[in-house]
């Protein structure tokens, strides 16, 4: 029987079925039309965003970090381009042999590469800051999902010589220590970005537009003089080694401007290679470590007494028999001196003389004098970790405490504070702020601390310290008159003084028209000598001599005085 003659075809279907089918088709078209209108008219932004995520990328354009220069334009820190290797884990389906090749070039273990490629994120760094030639060799392998990115790494041409003042940056070229951290907002600049179209392999096939151009960081010009800095560093290092000391610091200031021309500490580190860095190496001791300054404090108390009219330059003070009892405590000099003038109290570094002068002054006046000189609070140089030292409130001073503060016991300072305070004697009794950066013009005047006459009288006393019979003939500099003061202080541990010492010397030259102030501190010298005149003063002399010659400062010492340099007169030991 033929199919066309089938009785099933002769049966008529109900009319409602065709109508229902038509309505279903029309309803389907209506739903599709409505959904299309919804997607294209009301939810188009969502769909466009999802589509863009599949091909559009926003790439960060890193800004170049500004350079750090010394005052003469020498580059101290500069950012060099490097590469970072990153991956899209979903796309990076590598064979074991490819993983081994990649790991070898990255100097990583293959299992570490596998671990990172197993990450669930869309983006992962394999290794950052690698040389561009290594990155080129990796890209030449043509591995799926492996890409590179240009970044910057900081390079310090002077290495450990300037480590403590410059500091360093981290992996993202962000300042972590020193000037790099203090001037982060100036040096860093702002990154830019651009939108690109990438293919499935992550390769850029088209630039779409620039969203934000990068803004490079600005250069920072320091007050530092790299030649003086090297002199300071080299001589400090030699002194720490020769004296078998635990640590040391040196600061060089321009007496006319307050600019920090050099700052060095030992131990130090190389900021270009920080693989085995310790906290002791990192500390900028000239600003973060405090110590009892010893006899270097005597000139400040004596200057206050001169200013108040309590004493004159040639006033006589009885220091015999070499000891002085206050209550239950006794103050000693290193050797009996008998009657001394105020000037000789400085020259011979008599603790008894300084104590007797201090006890004629109201405690409040001494405290205010220390405070105005910058002791007891940070100098606000903007340097990370800077501390202010400690000066106890005068309301709680006992007579013995007031007496010992006159020669630097019971008070703690940083080396930078001490160098800064000595500007009052290198200048005309006024104190100007310090500056880490180069100044366009020097301050016209500072805060007047002592009268000009007092400053000049104390300067004359400080010149006597380097003469035969003083405590620091080793601080003398051929051709120049030097003024300064030695300090030797017992260290305090657990609230008691122990037989370990801090040796220091602070001075300036030429004494007739001071140009530089240099402060030196040697912590725990253990090679036999520990007095400031023997340990710290020679460092001062070498750095001062080289620095004055480098700056072209004219000699000021009378020719006949030069003969005394060859006599090597023994130094008088300090009272502290």
What is the C-alpha separation between 282 and 296, in angstroms, rounded?
Answer: 27
Tokens representing residue 576 in the block = 């502290």
Q: Where are the domains of the chain?
A: 58-221, 226-269+284-566
* Inter-residue contact 145 to 252 (CB < 8 Å): no
Tell me what pLDDT residue 566 has: 44
Those residues with Cβ within 8 angstroms of residue 375's Cβ, 6 or more apart along the chain or in another chain: 389, 391, 411, 413, 417, 421
Q: Where are the alpha helices (DSSP H) in 148-297?
A: 163-166, 178-182, 184-188, 226-242, 279-282, 285-288
Q: In the sheet that 204-212 helps form, which strands lie side by side, from edge to edge?
A: 56-61, 192-198, 204-212
Furthest-apart CA pair in the chain: how many Å? 151
CA distance 559 to 541: 18
pLDDT value at position 383? 84
What's the confidence (pLDDT) of residue 567? 47
- At the top level of CATH, which class does the domain 58-221 belong to? alpha beta
Write out the E strands in 356-468.
430-431, 447-448
How far apart CA 456 and CA 429 sit, in angstroms, is 8
Homologous superfamily of the 226-269+284-566 domain (CATH): DD-peptidase/beta-lactamase superfamily (3.40.710.10)
What is the three-class DSSP state of 341? strand
Give the active site residues.
295
CA distance 125 to 147: 10
pLDDT value of residue 145: 82
The residues near 423 (Cβ < 8 Å, ≥ 6 apart) are 253, 255, 258, 431, 432, 446, 517
As averages over each run of 10 residues, the pLDDT of the chain (576 residues) reads 61 72 84 77 64 58 87 94 82 84 88 82 80 87 84 90 93 86 90 62 53 82 97 97 97 97 96 82 92 96 95 93 90 90 94 95 96 94 89 93 93 97 96 95 88 96 93 94 95 85 96 97 94 96 97 84 49 66
Burial classification of residue 304, based on how many CB atoms lie within 10 Å of its CB (0-12 exposed, 13-18 middle, 19 or more buried): buried
The pLDDT assigned to 33 comes to 82
Give the H or E element holding residue 364.
helix 363-372
pTM of the model: 0.83
Planar angle of CA 272, 274, 279, nearest 5 degrees: 130
Of 142, 57, 114, 123, which Cα lies nearest the Cα of 84?
A: 123
pLDDT at site 424? 97
pLDDT at 196: 56
The tokens describing 327, both together, are: 């209550």
Beta strands in 131-284 (DSSP E): 146-155, 192-198, 204-212, 220-221, 247-254, 260-266
Instruction: Output DSSP code: residue 40.
Output: I
Question: 58-221 and 226-269+284-566 share one CATH topology?
Answer: no
Q: Which token pair is 218?
A: 């600005």
Strands, sheet with 247-254, edge to edge from the N-terminal-most edge strand: 260-266, 247-254, 516-523, 496-509, 483-493
The residues that bridge with 85 in the sheet, in sequence order, are 127, 148
User: Residue 534: its pLDDT value, please?
Assistant: 95
In this prediction, residue 563 carries a pLDDT of 45
d(CA 492, CA 531) in angstroms, rounded, equals 17
Distance CA(361)–CA(300), nearest Å, equals: 12
Pairing outcome for strands 192-198 and 204-212? antiparallel
Instruction: Yes or no: say if 437 and 69 are a contact pair by the CB < 8 Å rule.
Output: no
pLDDT of 47 reads: 60
How far apart CA 112 and CA 107 sit, in angstroms, is 10
Contacts of 553 (CB under 8 A, 6+ apart): 480, 510, 515
């Amino acid at each position: 029987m033929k199919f066309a003659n089938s009785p099933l075809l002769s049966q008529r279907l109900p009319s409602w079925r065709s109508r229902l089918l038509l309505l279903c088709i029309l309803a389907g078209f209506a739903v599709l039309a409505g959904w299309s209108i919804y997607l294209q008219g009301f939810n188009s932004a969502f769909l466009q965003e999802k589509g863009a995520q599949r091909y559009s990328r926003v790439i960060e354009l890193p800004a170049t970090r500004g350079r750090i220069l010394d005052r003469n334009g020498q580059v101290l820190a500069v950012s060099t381009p490097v590469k970072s290797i990153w991956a899209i884990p979903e796309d990076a389906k590598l064979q074991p042999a490819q993983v081994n090749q990649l790991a070898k070039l990255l100097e990583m273990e293959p299992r570490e590469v596998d671990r990172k490629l197993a990450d669930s994120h869309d983006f992962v760094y394999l290794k950052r800051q690698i040389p561009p030639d290594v990155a080129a060799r990796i890209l030449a392998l043509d591995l799926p999902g492996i890409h590179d990115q240009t970044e910057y790494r900081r390079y310090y041409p002077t290495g450990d010589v300037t480590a403590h003042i410059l500091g360093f940056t981290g992996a993202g070229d962000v300042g972590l220590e020193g000037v790099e951290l203090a001037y982060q907002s100036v040096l860093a600049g702002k990154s830019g970005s651009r939108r690109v179209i990438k293919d499935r392999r992550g390769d850029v096939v088209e630039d779409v537009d620039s969203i934000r151009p990068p803004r490079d960081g600005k250069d920072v010009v320091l007050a530092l003089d790299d030649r003086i800095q090297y002199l300071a560093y080299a001589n400090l290092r030699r002194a720490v080694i020769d004296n078998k000391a635990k640590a040391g610091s040196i600061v060089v200031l321009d007496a006319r401007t307050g600019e920090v021309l050099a700052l060095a500490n030992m131990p130090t580190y190389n900021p270009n290679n920080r693989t085995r860095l310790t906290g002791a190496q990192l500390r900028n001791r000239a600003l973060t470590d405090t110590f009892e300054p010893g006899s270097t404090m005597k000139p400040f108390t004596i200057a206050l007494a001169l200013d108040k009219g309590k004493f004159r330059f040639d006033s006589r003070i009885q220091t015999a028999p070499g000891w002085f009892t206050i209550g239950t405590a006794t103050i000693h000099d290193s050797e009996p001196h008998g009657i001394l003038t105020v000037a000789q109290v400085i020259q011979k570094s008599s603790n008894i003389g300084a104590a007797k002068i201090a006890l004629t002054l109201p405690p409040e006046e001494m405290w205010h004098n220390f405070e105005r000189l910058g002791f007891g609070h940070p100098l606000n140089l903007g340097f990370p970790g800077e501390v202010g030292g400690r000066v106890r409130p005068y309301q709680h001073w006992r007579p013995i405490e007031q007496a010992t503060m006159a020669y630097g016991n019971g008070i703690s300072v940083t080396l930078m504070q001490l160098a800064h305070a000595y500007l009052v004697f290198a200048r005309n009794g006024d104190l100007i702020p310090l500056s880490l950066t180069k100044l366009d013009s020097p301050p016209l005047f500072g805060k007047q601390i002592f009268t000009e006459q007092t400053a000049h009288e104390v300067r004359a006393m400080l010149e006597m310290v380097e003469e035969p019979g003083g405590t620091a003939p080793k601080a003398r500099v051929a051709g120049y008159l030097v003024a300064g003061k030695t300090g030797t202080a017992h260290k305090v541990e657990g609230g008691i003084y122990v037989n370990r010492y801090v040796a220091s010397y602070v001075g300036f030259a030429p004494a007739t028209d001071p140009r530089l102030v240099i402060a030196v501190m040697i912590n725990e010298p253990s090679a036999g000598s520990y007095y400031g005149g023997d340990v710290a003063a020679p460092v001062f002399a070498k750095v001062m001599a080289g620095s004055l010659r480098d700056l072209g400062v004219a000699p000021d010492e009378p020719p006949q005085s030069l003969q005394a340099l060859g006599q090597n007169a023994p130094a008088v030991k300090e009272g502290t």
